[in-house]
Amino acid sequence: MHLRRQKRELDARTVLAFAAIYIIWGSSFYAIRVAVATMPPFFAAGLRFSIAGACLCLWSWLRSDPPPRGHQWRNLIVVGAFMFLGTYAGLFWAEKTLPSGIASLLVATIPVWTLLLEVFVFKLAALHIRTVLAVLAGLVGVLLIALNETETAGAVSTFACLAILASEISWAFATVLSKRVSLPSSPIATAGWQMLFGGLMLLLCSSLAREMRPPPHIAREAIIATVYLIVAASVLSFTAYIWLLARMSPTKVASYAYVNPVIALALGWWLGKESITVPTLLGAGCILASVSFIIFAKAGEPKSALEESGVRN
């Protein structure tokens, strides 16, 4: 009886944890869109990650996790710069003009860039014909979306698409790099310090760009969206992600990579009145097929950076 109750409790927690990384991370794209409508993008991103990072660092300290040592501080700063400054500066800036659903589809290409970096830059994996086809499918999807956005919204959306693709390459580089350098043993401490350093760098960029001069009028909706991004999308969802990784296969956990864009597209259409065109759906199909194939192709192999390429949103 006791074992049955424990199993029911575990099943319920598993469902809630998957709901967090599926729904909350999927909805974060629309939340970013709402936040940057009236809040400067670098400031919004910096505020999110500096506060969320501080919360995770505090949690790590309360857990008595060993603190970073020596050169681990340097590694945390470097990886944090690529993972949060390089990634979210582009994403938050792009979502001022780009629909949140489109942004989510471009972000979903992370496994493609991670695989290419593992093969051609870090020489950690071999390229097979099936993965070549998967990569090509992903790139075709990106091209369909980018061309459609260029036709409907002009050059501004083209630059926004390029900014997101550059930001995802930055994230993929940081992901692979983090597997080759010494970092704290606690994933909570590692993520917390990386978020904190990246968030502070984003705030510095905001200051250098004079985003808050003169202080803009920030709508209440933007403040609520930013709080949601800090509490739900960063702290709670990351906790759920770590909990799932300790209990489920990385491949199952990585399934959020192709669930998130579906949630984001639906929310963008429903709440943000964003249009969904035939080229968008075709591009989405290509990208999601590419991502799912790459993830499941790794199911029987040792855990790699590819399976950790998405502690996102």
Domain ranges of the chain: 2-308
Q: What confidence score (pLDDT) does residue 128 get?
A: 81
Task: Give the global pTM.
Answer: 0.90
| Tens digits of residue pLDDT in 175-194 | 889 888 999 999 999 999 99
| Residue scoring higher pLDDT (60 or 6) | 60
Q: What confidence score (pLDDT) does residue 34 get?
A: 98
pLDDT surpasses 80 at 251: no
pLDDT surpasses 70 at 8: no
Q: What confidence score (pLDDT) does residue 122 get?
A: 84
pLDDT surpasses 70 at 7: no
Tokens of 34: 């709402």
pLDDT surpasses 80 at 298: no
| Tens digits of residue pLDDT in 83-103 | 999 999 999 999 999 999 999
Tell me the residue type at 310. G
